[in-house]
């Protein structure tokens, strides 16, 4: 009788792990939607704790692997570290998370039930999966990383090009985001909000948002054409 729980756990540990991760992801998503300031407060508390920052990066990897909101780790990292350090940590979390998601989705194959947005990405990448297209999807806002990761995995895109595009695109994206947020935090603290090095990343970020929205509408229009 004592062996029953252990044998059951050995057989179903993957399901239990997935359920735990889903619960954690939902909690983080609700937390983020409720009050971003809570995340920022926690990030400030752990910013000078190396073990905690490693845990945040590992959590990002796990969340991205299972299509959960790994990008929330950005708010625990970027406002409290120089952009170079932030980008390095964010790249480790998001690129290894992309690899995990690609592997997991590739095993799921046809069992994955994509949303409408994910179907558009699958359709796009099934016709155009070159390095430039994949990199653009990583750089432009409006294309969630988890959907790009899973679309690439389901289609079985070669890992080399997939990871290279993730590395290049996310380096650009995280670089712009981290510089803009860190500059804004410093500007608030010093009162120098109109410095060029503070304003320029915000303009770049705004341009990316506009381009991302335009690209997404083009993809949706192309899909709806008879």
pTM comes to 0.74
Q: CA 153, CA 137: separation in Å to the nearest integer?
A: 15
pLDDT over 50 at 31, yes or no: no
Q: CA 68, CA 145: separation in Å to the nearest integer?
A: 10
pLDDT for the residue numbered 93: 95
Above pLDDT 70, what percent of the chain? 60
pLDDT tens digits for range 178-194: 888 887 777 666 655 55
pLDDT over 70 at 155, yes or no: yes
Q: CA 107, CA 116: separation in Å to the nearest integer?
A: 21
User: Concatenated DSSP letters for 166-195?
Assistant: HHHHHHHHHHHHHHHHHHHHHHHHHS-TT-
pLDDT tens digits for range 210-222: 565 556 656 555 5
pLDDT tens digits for range 68-109: 878 888 888 988 999 999 999 999 999 999 999 999 888 876
- Domain ranges, ordered by start, for the chain: 10-224
Mean pLDDT of 130-149: 83
Cα 18 from chain centroid (whole Å) = 18
H-type helices in the chain, by residue range? 3-34, 36-46, 50-65, 74-77, 83-108, 116-127, 131-139, 145-155, 159-190, 196-224
Above pLDDT 90, what percent of the chain? 23
Distances (CA, A) of 168 to 6, 97, 159: 44, 15, 14
pLDDT category of residue 33 using cuts at 50, 70 and 90: very low
């Amino acid at each position: 009788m004592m062996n029953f729980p252990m044998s059951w756990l050995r057989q179903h540990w993957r399901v239990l792990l997935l359920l735990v991760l889903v619960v954690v992801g939902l909690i983080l998503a609700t937390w983020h939607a409720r009050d971003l300031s809570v995340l920022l407060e926690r990030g400030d508390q752990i910013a000078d704790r190396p073990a905690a920052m490693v845990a945040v990066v590992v959590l990002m990897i796990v969340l991205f692997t299972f299509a959960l909101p790994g990008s929330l780790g950005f708010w625990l990292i970027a406002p409290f570290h120089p952009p170079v350090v932030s980008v390095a940590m964010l790249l480790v979390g998001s690129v290894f998370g992309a690899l995990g998601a690609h592997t997991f989705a590739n095993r799921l194959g046809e069992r994955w039930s994509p949303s409408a947005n994910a179907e558009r990405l699958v359709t796009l990448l099934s016709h155009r999966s070159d390095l430039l297209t994949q990199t653009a999807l990583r750089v432009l806002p409006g294309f969630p990383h988890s959907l790009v990761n899973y679309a690439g995995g389901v289609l079985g895109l070669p890992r080399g090009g997939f990871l290279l595009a993730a590395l290049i695109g996310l380096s650009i994206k995280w670089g712009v985001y981290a510089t803009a947020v860190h500059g804004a935090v410093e500007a608030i603290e010093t009162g120098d909000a109109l410095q060029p090095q503070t304003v320029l990343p915000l303009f770049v970020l705004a341009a990316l948002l506009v381009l991302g929205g335009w690209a997404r509408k083009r993809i949706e229009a192309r899909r709806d054409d008879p």
